[in-house]
Amino acid sequence: MAETWRGLYPITSFVLQALERQDALADSRREQVLRRAAGFWAAAARGDLPAYLGSQPRPALAEARRAFVALGAVRTASLIRSAMDGLAAGSNGLRSAAILARLDDALARTEDNIDELIARYAGSEPHQVLIANLS
């Protein structure tokens, strides 16, 4: 089995920290996408996905899936969709934990370069203003 590196690249940390300094209620649509994608990705990198998703993970997974679709991370969105389908099929606590553990493992091996996609999305117009103001 191949080793996978778990962690965030500096750009994702930078974007997440920049967004955390702003009021989430005032976020533009693009900032909401970045906040959801970077927050989810950070939780996955920390191995803290179940805590991030909470006791009812399906709504948070749905939001994350939409964010990753917007970024262009179609493989990651598909992995999240599979987890949502598994949770919808009826789950108890142990089954949910197993589904989220499989998702976490699959995310560590995704071919999507999430950090690069976050950087591109954050640097594209008109969102570039956020990055420029916080540099």
Which helix (H) or strand (E) is 134 found in, with range? Answer: helix 128-134
For residue 62, what are the CA distances in angstroms to 34, 56, 65, 108, 131? 15, 11, 5, 19, 26
The proportion of the chain whose per-residue pLDDT surpasses 70, expressed as a percent, equals 79
Q: For residue range 16-69, what is the model confidence (pLDDT) as tens digits?
A: 777 777 776 777 888 889 989 999 999 998 888 999 999 889 999 999 999 999
Q: Residues near 19 by Cβ (< 8 Å), separated by ≥ 6?
A: 27, 31, 34, 35, 38, 130
What is the structure's pLDDT at 21?
76
Q: What is the mean pLDDT of the chain?
A: 82
Give the pTM.
0.80
For residues 92-105, give the mean pLDDT. 85
Matching residue, tokens 């493989």: 75
